Amino acid sequence: MSQASMRFTPCPSLPAEPGSAVVVLMKENSILLDEEGRLPRMDDLPETIHAFRIGYIGSCPCHGAVLAEQVTFGNLHWQDTRSAMQGLPEAERIAAGRAKTLLFWQDRRKFCGVCGTELEPLISECARKCPRCGAAFFPVLAPAMIVAVRREDRILLAHNARFKPGIFSVLAGFVEAGESVEEAVFREVREEVNIEVRNIRYFGSQSWPYPNSLMLGFEADYAGGELVPDGEEITDADWFSADDLPSIPAPGSIAYRLITHFQHQMNLKS
Ligand SMILES: [Zn+2]
């Protein structure tokens, strides 16, 4: 089967189809995998799971479901979602990310925000509708920016208070209501490390289903100001050259891509 035919294609949250299908089963921060570390098939499960369709991998239906208990099934095993997803083939990783964000949304959007009535699935859309007042609710994504700031041949990397000790990364933050993403880049960098940036340029994006973000990556150039971490979110920040980087986030993240892209460009220069 060709690479193109193995792409993941999303679809509305329809009822699960009978027969063989790939299934994303989740429980809190864990995902169920088979012996090869891949998403299991519905046929691998000894009992019927209440699942819903989230899309297709190639022509194979793909379902998502959450389990209330940490049950085990034969040779299948639970693994931490974030590390497991990095090891999945691309189509399965996208499917798992979609399932994760939709399951999170479903869990928190059971009742109408207008009149309080219990919502019903809106067949043909990935949405829920109120049977009383007709209000429709769609899954919510939280856009966030992530930016590699450069100052000549160095990159700005910072230690966030939530990181493991010794890890440094590029700056990131959520887009506020009313802002463009570029305005969020400018504001977040100033808030977190007290400097100004210019020449903000788009790099690429990544779904970040922890629980429902879309990371929009940028590069920008230093424009002025003295580097001062805010002391709350950012506890340390500095300029690093490509041949002297600290410990950075693991491969699979857009942060890693931004930092290694910088490193690659510097290596081409030298
Ligand atoms: Zn309502």
CA of 15 to the centre of ligand 1 (A): 23
Per the domain annotation, does 155 fall within a domain?
Answer: yes
Q: pLDDT per residue over 135-181, tens digit each?
A: 999 999 999 999 999 999 999 999 999 999 999 999 999 999 999 99
Residues 262 and 146 in one domain: yes
CA of 107 to the centre of ligand 1 (A): 17
CA of 127 to the centre of ligand 1 (A): 14
**What is the three-class DSSP state of 28?**
coil
Q: Give the separation between CA 261 and CA 15, rounded to whole angstroms.
A: 42
Residues 87 and 184 in one domain: no
CA of 38 to the centre of ligand 1 (A): 40
Query: Considering the chain, what is the average pLDDT of its residues?
Result: 91
CA of 117 to the centre of ligand 1 (A): 5
Per the domain annotation, does 36 fall within a domain?
Answer: yes
Per the domain annotation, does 121 fall within a domain?
Answer: no
**Sign of the Cα pseudo-torsion (241, 245, 246, 247, in order):** positive
Range of the domain at 36: 4-108
Q: pLDDT per residue over 22-60, tens digit each?
A: 999 998 889 999 999 999 998 888 777 788 889 999 989
Determine which of 96-105, 178-187, 216-225 has the lowest per-residue pLDDT on average: 96-105
Domain with residue 158: its CATH number is 3.90.79.10
CA of 62 to the centre of ligand 1 (A): 30
Per the domain annotation, does 114 fall within a domain?
Answer: no
Q: Give the separation between CA 137 and CA 109, rounded to whole angstroms.
A: 8
User: What's the pTM value of the predicted model, to 2 decimals?
Assistant: 0.86
CA of 256 to the centre of ligand 1 (A): 43
Per the domain annotation, does 130 fall within a domain?
Answer: no
Residue 4 has pLDDT above 70, yes or no: no
CA of 109 to the centre of ligand 1 (A): 12
CA of 120 to the centre of ligand 1 (A): 10
The DSSP bridge partners found for residue 197 are: 222
Q: What angle do CA 30, 31, 35 make, to 5 degrees?
A: 125
Residues 99 and 152 in one domain: no
CA atoms within 13 A on the CB side of 107: 15
Number of domains the chain is built from: 2
CA of 212 to the centre of ligand 1 (A): 24
CA of 135 to the centre of ligand 1 (A): 6
Domain with residue 66: its CATH number is 3.90.79
Per the domain annotation, does 113 fall within a domain?
Answer: no
Residue 1, pLDDT score? 44
Q: Give the separation between CA 220 and CA 149, rounded to whole angstroms.
A: 5
CA of 16 to the centre of ligand 1 (A): 26
What's the CA dihedral at 12, 18, 23, 28 to 10 degrees? Answer: 80
Per the domain annotation, does 123 fall within a domain?
Answer: no
Confidence of residue 133 (pLDDT cuts 50, 70, 90): very high
Q: Give the separation between CA 25 and CA 18, rounded to whole angstroms.
A: 16
CA of 52 to the centre of ligand 1 (A): 23
Q: In a 10 Å sphere around its CB, with 0-12 CB exposed, 13-18 middle and 19+ buried, how is residue 268 labelled?
A: exposed
Q: Give the separation between CA 102 and CA 65, rounded to whole angstroms.
A: 10
Residues 174 and 95 in one domain: no
Q: Give the separation between CA 68 and CA 229, rounded to whole angstroms.
A: 42
Residues 162 and 232 in one domain: yes
CA of 149 to the centre of ligand 1 (A): 46
Residue 51, pLDDT score? 84
Per the domain annotation, does 239 fall within a domain?
Answer: yes
Other C-beta atoms lying within 10 Å of the C-beta of residue 158: 23
Q: What angle do CA 156, 81, 68 make, to 5 degrees?
A: 140
Residue type at position 92: E
CA of 137 to the centre of ligand 1 (A): 10
Nearest to 8 by CA among 62, 71, 69, 45: 62
Q: Give the separation between CA 233 and CA 245, rounded to whole angstroms.
A: 21
Of 49, 82, 108, the residue that ends a domain is 108
